[in-house]
Structure 1
Amino acid sequence: MDAKQQIPNSKKILSNKSLLFFIIAIFLFATTLRTPITVVGPIISFIRDGLGISNGLAGFLTTIPLLAFAVVSPFAPRIARKFGMEWTLFYSVILLCVGIILRSIGLTSLLIVGTILIGVAIAFGNVLIPSFFKWKFPLHIGLLTGIYSVSMNISSGFAAGFSYPMATNSGWQVALGFSLVLGIVTLIFWLPILKQPKIALSPASAQAEKKQMWKVPLAWAVAGAMGFQSFLFYCTSTWLPEIFISQGLDAASAGWMVSVMQFSQIPMTFIIPILAEKLVSQRPIVFFFTFCYLIGFAGIFMEWTSLAILWMIFLGFAGGASFGLVLMLFSLRTESAYDAAELSGFAQSVGYFVAAIGPVLFGYVHDLTESWSIPLLLFIAISILLFLTSFMGSNNRTI
């Protein structure tokens, strides 16, 4: 079924209150996809000291979800075909809640198991939500993707900000467990969606089962774009504070710079999906975020630290624009919702594997060279690779 065939159903839905309710449900769902992860970083010392675990294991807590994304993503479309997208997403939130509860009990073994379950649950949302938009509202994919992206960024930013004071006042278990509230509220708002007609396997998606994405060059281009933008996001979030401290900023100011970068992404994550949907070719967006990446990284490489906030704004614009575009490519480069899910699963599997090794590789290069110069050149090199893959993926054709 193509977009034109789905338009009448979309208009019917848009004529009543279900669209508003759907937007609220999606907004809430999106908050569950990042907050369980971003609460960990600021309170990692509380977790380490509270459980008596090593720094290596504590740091691995932020890598486990990324590895889960890489492993689980290819299987999400197949499971959705069996249970339907609505029910699969509903079950994923239940699994997320179970993981949050286990992680917050206060035992090392349950902390690891809970973190794995959280990564598995979030992988389903990451993969299926873009294709869910393509099926439900083919005329409003850009708008819904923008709302979805913004809610993820806002909630993750606030979660990172509130987790430390919450851990200080109420304990790290409470800080880790707070995301459970969002999960429960999401389940409540998702119930009416389950009463709607089930998204069934269509003839087009049945053919998609026979496709092997790893044999399609366009799929690799989208996967490369996903991987390289994820590499840049997780590496900058992890290492930029250390880089700024080495250039003379105090720790508090260095941390604030990363916050500026993250919040600068928000307008781009809303605008870019809407713009990408309207453009025949998305290559102008690729030129825009590549320019922003290169300006931001060049300023940091030259150690013009007095303008650090400007470089962070450029990197925030670039990160938000590249992330927003990649989410849209899953829909724009495919013909059906389940094709989009297949592409999303493949691209995110590749992408999050690259993201998982990124911070480790970046730190290894720094230790090897005993300098931040080569790692910063690595940022620029990855930006160029992101340009090439995004440029190829933005060509007006479909898989």
Structure 2
Amino acid sequence: MSPLLGAIRADTGLSVATAGLLTTLPVLCFGVLAPLAPRLGRRLGMEPTLLLTMVLITAGAAIRLLQPLAAILAGTVLIGAGIAVANVLLPGVIKRDFERRVGLMAGLYTMTMFASPAIAAGLSVPLERATGLDWRCVLALWGVPAVAAIIVWLPQTRRHTRVSAADTQAAAHPVRGLWRNPLAWAVTCFMGLQAMTFYMVVAWLPTLLSDAGMSDVTAGVMLSLSSVVGIVGAFLAPLLAGGAARTAAIVVAGSVLYVIALGGLMVAPIAGAYLWMSLLGLGQGAATSLALLCIMRRAPDIRHAAQLSSMSQCFGYVLAALGPLALGVVHQAAGGWTIPLLLVITVLVPQTLAGVLAARDRHVSGYPDEPPVRAELLPFPNSRRRLGTGPG
């Protein structure tokens, strides 16, 4: 929606605050609705729940075709809700179905998370101009990939088999003690802080470059460049992350690239823009993919993966929604960009420490007060064949 905000405001008379709300609503949904995802997954099953998320996204895109402002807000909330639940459950899919190739699949998954928004942001305005459609129709067109995903995913729902009432009741118990586990909090803080720094930089980078004298068009290209390079970082980092020591080293290396890029933006924002954007993209991509990789590797089974993903993304996206606001306030008070960039660098310190702690080769498990649950039913059917576990 961001590239079309100008047209939306001109057509509807939206205030700056309401326009900002439209772009913030999905991120808030990611955080607020994340705790509901494991419950839905346990109640409906993994595959049907993921199908439901794509139906919500399609419905939200269609609703935004309607004229009232309330329809735009409602459609945006539905899209945010669908993405929020899918964000939490998809790491569980990778944990269950690709346990021996978690690094590769985590890299591919994170790569799509960087590439898809970049494609949508880059094509929305050209689509509007090439087709002559208004902004409502252009936004609705982005529901078409969700329809395609429904068609592709529909056969997967056949894997959802019936289980006994006793097994269903046992598997419905949430993981206990997760919010008191230090390793779970390390993963959560790493996920939260990297999301916060990511959105802080992405939200204000074009403005920073424009204030330095760069044209608005070129500033947008620079943001796209960082996203494109981020695809490379997102793909390579999980592949290179072997054991705990190597993963921790890549966490630190990614933060160092981040710091160099932010430092470069302070001293030579235009002269070295291409270099800074490349380093920034590599650092952001590595941090995002490693945060998701830690969720998968620190969870002993799919049940823990779903709830650890919920915990970390709830905390992470709430921070992500507040980060750009805080940076904007600091920028307004400071009257420049040096102090705000130093603030981002400061946040990178605990982010790196949390990433190193989250890289430890341990599992967030071992809670003695949990009820006995058969491993192949945690938390969804059809896990036994994938995990290679037996009853007991």
With structure 2 as the length reference, what TM-score do the two structures score? Answer: 0.87
Q: What is the aligned counterpart of 1:338 among 303, 306, 309?
A: 303
Q: Which amino acid aligns with 1:184?
A: V
SS in 2 for 1:106: coil
Matched, 1:62 2:23: yes
Which of residues 151, 154, 159 is equivalent to 2:120? Answer: 159
Deviation (angstroms), 1:304: 4.9
Identity within the alignment, %: 34
Q: State the SS of the aligned residue for 2:99.
A: coil
Answering whether residue 211 of structure 2 is matched by residue 229 of structure 1, we say: no
Residues 157-195 of structure 1, C-alpha deviations (whole Å, 9 max, x = no match): 111111112233211011110111101111111111112
Query: What secondary structure does 1:63 align onto?
Result: helix
Equivalent positions of 1:216-365 (< 5 A) are: 216-276=181-241, 278-281=242-245, 282-365=247-330
> What is the match of residue 141 of structure 2?
178
- Partner residue of 1:96? 57
Superposed displacement of residue 197, structure 1: 4.7
Q: How well do the aligned residues superpose, as a CA RMSD in angstroms?
A: 1.9
2-side partners of 1:304 and 1:353: how far apart? 29
Q: Residue 372 of structure 1: CA displacement?
A: 1.2
Cα deviation 1:126-164 (Å, max 9, x = unaligned) = 000011111122112222222222223222111111111
Mapping of residues 17-32 of structure 1, within 5 Å: none
Stretches of structure 1 that go unaligned for 5 or more consecutive residues are 1-39
Preserved CA contact (<8 Å) 1:231 1:354: yes
Q: 1:87 is matched with which residue?
A: 48
Determine which of 39, 52, 72 is the counterpart of 2:13: 52
Question: Which 10-residue stretch deviates more, 85-94 or 248-257?
Answer: 248-257
Contact 2:107 2:238 in 1 (8 A): yes
Report how far residue 207 of structure 1 moved: 9.0
8 A contact 1:334–1:340 mirrored in 2: yes
Alignment of 1:96-175 (within 5 A): 96-168=57-129, 169-175=132-138
Structure 2: how far apart are the matches of 1:177 and 1:301?
39
Amino acid at match of 1:340: A
Task: Provide the C-alpha distance between the structure 2 equivalents of 1:390 and 1:198, rounded to a whole number of angstroms.
Answer: 38
Which runs of 5 or more residues in structure 2 are unaligned?
A: 365-392
1:227-246: CA deviation from partner (whole Å, max 9, x where unpaired): 11111221211111111122
Q: Quick check: 2:229–2:278 contact (8 Å CA) kept in 1?
A: yes
Q: Does the C-alpha gap of structure 1 residues 198 and 134 become closer, same or farther in structure 2, counting only changes over 3 Å? A: farther
**Amino acid in the other structure paired with 1:124:** V
| Residues 57, 78 of structure 2: 8 Å contact kept | yes
| Residues 86 and 198 in structure 1, CA contact (< 8 A), matched pair in contact too | no
Return closer, same or farther for 1:208/1:396 CA change in 2, 3 Å cut-off. farther
SS in 2 for 1:306: coil
Return the offset for 1:290.
Answer: 1.0
Deviates most, 249-258 or 351-360: 249-258
Contact 1:234 1:358 (8 Å CA) reproduced:
yes
Q: Aligned partners of 1:52 and 1:197: how far apart in 2? A: 47
SS of 1:195's partner is helix
How many angstroms apart in 2 are the aligned matches of 1:192 and 1:135? 18
**In the TM superposition, what whole-angstrom CA distance separates every residue of 1:253-311 from its partner, at most 9, and x where no partner exists?**
211111111100111211222333x3244201111101101110111122353011101
